[in-house]
Copies of this chain bind each other. A is one copy, B any other.
Amino acid sequence: MHLIAIGGSDAGISAALRARELNPDVDVTVVVADAYPNFSICGIPYYFSGEVQPWQSLAHRTAADLEATGMRLRLDTFATGIDVTGQRLTVRDAHGAESQLAYDELVVGTGALPSAAGITGLDTLGPDDGVHVLHSMGDTFALDQHLNDRNPESAIIIGAGYVGLEMAEALTVRGLKVTQLQRGPEVLSTLDPELGALVHAELDRHDVEVVTGSRVEAVTRSPAGLTVTGHRNGAPFQHTADLVLAVVGVRPNTELLESAGATLSAGRAVLVDEQMRTGLPHVFAAGDGVVTHHRLLGRTYLPLGTTAHKQGRVAGENALGGDARFAGSLGTQVVKVFDLVAARTGLRDHEAAAAGFSPSSVTAVADDHKAYYPGATPISIRITGNADDGRLLGAQLVGSRSAEVAKRVDTFATALFHNMTVAGISDLDLSYTPPLGSPWDAVQVATQRWDREHTKAQVPA
């Protein structure tokens, strides 16, 4: 039995690890396009901030660690074609030599690629011009070289999502003057603007120049530097800096599977079932290249490292004949921006309404622990519930780094997993000690607020 996993990131490695864990007799080969298997792409911003050094420590596991589990790594090896019927994978090595690898089962985890979001110039300008993306260790080395060799003083970051915000912090810490251009009305568009504004204020406090409502159209190079042009409120704008970093999202990298005959979704992610089967015999797929089963939305596309780990694990188990199922995402996410932490799980109003719910959201502000104990700090918690039946649909939280926001969102994620009602959260036996919480935790203060407002609305005055 020979299992091949394509992709050295979360999905491919998780599949390979799971297979080796379940059956040490299975041959496992992982085909990795670069020389950096199992690197923590989410950690790259902290390399640039200087918090993580050297870059090698970004590896979740070293190549030696991986090989010690009994898997074989083929590094700098690019998968170019799948012969589904013949169960053979064609690969090209660093020297351009092609060869074929026979497999019994295949797990494809080719991930995603940076999107250019239709911005002119992102296709032609590159690291040598001072225009960067950040999706691989190769991108990391290119940006690193730029920063070290050319010592830029200013940067424009296009995009204010997770990576954009983390890089705004990193480059600011590093001494660059950062301008952050965001298309939407507020940064961190995965949160409602009311909560995104708290993150915006944190960027302001650290002298990041944030320009929301900026539709970037082009990046051009001139002797003065790099110029980003576009429109804002109907008027043209331009910003110039020494460096441009475009972090405007990703698109599924599906060429290999598409050529092999896999079916793509509307968003061009590969269709898979809950067992991570592509429909092609003996071919599984997982991670940022495939559709995401969402527990509240059904089929969507929501590429996240946590999801890729889970899907890869399921694929690895099923490739060995198992019957594991990906239980579905809730879109749980968290980001640290300077001294603030922002998190969400589940749905926001517009997402829930589009899915046929009757959502209603209420924001509460509750202290992370008893106000009398030193260091208490407010957490803004926005609860989305279904007005019809009181079902919890989602939660968004923003608070200081000390406020244990990341784990409080996990309580909501666990509650959502079990389809709890908003009112039901008060039944949870959560922990309490004055330095770390309240008899009704902030989580419950927020859900009680939602419940009170909606119960009131049901009782005629």
Contact = CB atoms under 8 A, between A and B. Distances in A.
B407 A429 contact: no
Interface stretch (A115-123, A128-136, A143-151, A370-378): A370-378
Interface stretch (A93-101, A207-215, A278-286, A430-438): A430-438
A330 B411 CA distance: 15
Which range holds the interface residue count of chain A? Answer: 35 or more
A197 interface: no
A241 interface: no
A408 interface: yes
A382 to B, nearest CB: 16
B372 A436 contact: no
A370 B40 contact: yes
Contact of A411 (B373, B411, B433, B452): B411
A429 B327 CA distance: 9
Query: Interface on chain A toward B: helix, strand, loop, or mixed SS?
Result: mixed
A125 interface: no
Interface stretch (A50-58, A171-179, A252-260): A50-58
Contacts of A349: none
A335 interface: yes
Nearest to A14: B439
Contact of A373 (B46, B404, B409, B415): B46
Contact of A372 (B52, B341, B406): B52
B431 A42 contact: no
Given A373-B43, A429-B329, A309 B415 contact: no
A328 B429 CA distance: 8
Contact of A435 (B304, B336, B408): B336
Given A345-B431, A413-B428, A439 B332 contact: no
B433 A42 contact: yes
A436 B336 contact: yes
A432 B310 CA distance: 13
B345 A429 contact: yes
A250 interface: no
Nearest to A343: B431
Contact of A410 (B46, B370, B428): B428
A205 interface: no
A134 to B, nearest CB: 14
A10 interface: yes
A427 interface: yes
Contacts of A433: 42, 162, 334-336, 406
Interface string A344-386: 0100000000000000000000000010111000000000000
A67 B414 CA distance: 37
A20 interface: no
A117 to B, nearest CB: 23
A429 B305 contact: no
Contacts of A372: 40, 43, 46, 52, 57-58
Contact of A330 (B341, B406, B429): B429
A272 B52 CA distance: 56
A333 interface: yes
A21 interface: yes
Contacts of A307: 429
A418 B432 CA distance: 20
Contact of A333 (B304, B330, B332, B431): B431
Given A306-B431, A345-B429, 12 more contacts: A40-B434, A46-B373, A51-B373, A52-B372, A332-B429, A334-B431, A404-B404, A406-B407, A411-B411, A413-B431, A414-B415, A417-B427
Interface of A: 10, 21, 40, 42-43, 46, 51-52, 57-58, 60, 162, 295, 304-307, 309-310, 313, 327-336, 341, 343, 345, 370, 372-374, 404, 406-411, 413-415, 417-418, 426-437, 439-441, 443, 452
13 contacts: A40-B370, A52-B372, A52-B374, A162-B433, A329-B429, A331-B429, A332-B431, A345-B429, A345-B431, A406-B431, A410-B428, A410-B430, A410-B443
